[in-house]
Chain A
């Protein structure tokens, strides 16, 4: 896992959006091979979208060949309700860029059969070849998408009842009236997120500091569903200083130094493309599997029958030695060092009776 720490929320958002732009450009998506992007809603990602729109307007990036999957949507809230996630995405992102509406996938919280909607969603993701990069945010209780505490870490897209904490947190969007907040939502599962080739999460603000600690310093735990990210091969969390308040100083310094060293050595945080990794693996496999490569590298080896080696590594042979040999010579103690006892028989130490 990589943890990127930036001073402020805006810089964290900018880091992610620039990262996404780079990833899409490197991927070079085409209509046949689109870039599949998982997207969140919420206040933390807002800044990311803002910056992505800026980059689009500057002509840096096109979303024409990007297929999007959103994480979640409320159940029963009209699609065009200002607080629906359809509206959020339209307002902050889709209406400003050149993404093809046919390539947009958002769960339909008003589907007649919600279960079928969820199954279809998973299938759609499979259909486009899986998600390349899943962008996420978390709640103060460490939930990713609407996978509230206690969600199975192998969960899939499904209907979810929202935790009281989440209802409370979201009531600010519904004129602070708890009764107006939808109580259920459709959400991708934890496993759906983990199946993405890469997961990038933004966490900003002091109120999410505890969640960040639980997710990266403690163990994998279903009470903090984001902690499952520890088992993902390519996970990156981007945070602001406020979000690190509960972390150990050591953790913060460690991740900062990693980034620093990597940067100074010319490594970005970039992910090798699937194609280039595959190429490398193929060539290694080819080498390993080809009969030629089985020949020993020794010069005259071919004259002798092949040596049959033990199938497992041997431990080094025991060489008995005395303890004192392993000690370095200690200067300044001459005459005082322990000397080996001479072997002699007891009778030699006794005075001879003949000398009378």
Chain B
């Protein structure tokens, strides 16, 4: 009698995660997740089961832990001693350093990110941008964390809100988009072949500066997202920029006009942005840049736009101490706090995205899936990568983290236990 019970099945590369909680929309559900280590994507398990009679090769017991999409950081200036903006004599050193950073960064649960360049001279962009574009095309888990494209934060920003950006390199754009081309390099804005992607994913600029607002449509038409930041924009100016195609506010509250009850500033667009969608916004929840209540207010104002970012510097992951910076500056790192030597000027952050997640969870009272959304689905949607990154739906990349998220001694703790990239375990 022909019974189809084959003793030996061919290996399929299918891995099943079971016995844990899966982030599904705004809920944690007790479901299994199937991924393919061959394609590096998430599978619709029921479909594969019935259509192809597939049984997983490997079963990962999550033991009650949370399985989430991998974290996405849309504002990271450097880490583990590597700074994206520092151009060495020999660019092969840069390339090596970048590769090293990717391998270390992924251990923290950040499976993709935007390498961020604060305001620089034009030649820095010309030299570094070709290295910083989307790096996931080879889908090789061993490469570590994946760049989704560069984030150019400046130099088209307002001097009065420049923070630690060097005022000497700041620009305006009297010639509109042409000035952006001159600064970043025309080929970095407009790919030479239609299949190529621009190495730039996001540009932060101040819309009130001459020529900036009018250049927004040119930029966004190339698939590059436009964020408002380091700006003196009023509520009206910000709203107009959103109408022109801007979709994001870079590190909300920091380096912009604060909320005034008669002029709400850029923050006001979280309440209403007439004629446009309310923007996404980055929040640095390192416990230093923003008061916990401020973070909570922003979350409550527009949870669907809330994105956690680190704005971390190269000292992320390094021990505390004094570090040399560009232009002869020296910066002091104490825990997650980074300041210019002898001052209180904040110079970015040294908190990992996981720490920011922990803080936000502690302060907001949001549910675990809501908290995780701020570092997964929301940043992915902001970048136009909904359904590809930051989600566990069928066909999305199998970039995953297994989290131990629980309350411990009255404080909420999130520990990254496993990291998976393109369907392979990397940590």
Contacts and interface: CB of A to CB of B under 8 A. Distances in A.
Given A80-B46, A95-B46, A100 B2 contact: no
A34 B49 contact: no
A98 B49 CA distance: 12
B46 A86 contact: yes
Contact of B49 (A67, A101, A128): A101
Interface string B235-268: 0000000000000000000000000000000000
A175 to B, nearest CB: 18
A101 B55 contact: yes
A79 B47 CA distance: 9
Interface in A28-72: 31-32, 34, 64-65, 67
A103 B5 contact: yes
A128 to B, nearest CB: 6
Interface residues of A, number: 24
A95 B45 contact: yes
A102 B46 contact: no
B50 A128 contact: no
A106 to B, nearest CB: 8
Contact of B46 (A34, A87, A128): A87
A128 B5 contact: no
A90 B1 contact: no
Nearest to A84: B46
A326 B241 CA distance: 118
Contacts of A91: 46
A256 to B, nearest CB: 37
Interface string A185-216: 00000000000000000000000000000000
Contacts of B44: 80
Contacts of B49: 90, 94-95, 101
A101 B1 contact: no
B10 to A, nearest CB: 12
Contact of B3 (A90, A95, A104, A128): A128
B28 interface: no
B346 to A, nearest CB: 49
B57 to A, nearest CB: 13
B50 A90 contact: yes
A341 to B, nearest CB: 83
A129 interface: yes
B401 to A, nearest CB: 23
Nearest to B52: A101
Contacts of B7: 31
A327 B46 CA distance: 80
Contact of B4 (A94, A98, A103): A103
Nearest to A34: B3
A67 B46 CA distance: 18
A86 B50 contact: yes
B11 interface: no
Contacts of B53: 100-102
A250 interface: no
Contact of B6 (A32, A80, A102, A127): A102
Contacts of B159: none
A32 B4 contact: no
A98 B7 CA distance: 13
28 contacts: A31-B3, A31-B5, A32-B1, A64-B5, A80-B44, A80-B47, A86-B46, A87-B46, A90-B49, A94-B49, A95-B32, A95-B45, A95-B49, A96-B32, A98-B55, A100-B6, A100-B55, A101-B49, A101-B53, A101-B54, A101-B55, A102-B4, A102-B5, A102-B6, A103-B3, A104-B50, A128-B3, A129-B1
Given A64-B5, A128-B1, 20 more contacts: A31-B3, A31-B5, A34-B3, A65-B5, A80-B46, A80-B47, A87-B46, A90-B50, A95-B46, A98-B55, A100-B5, A100-B53, A100-B55, A101-B49, A101-B54, A102-B4, A102-B5, A102-B6, A102-B53, A127-B1
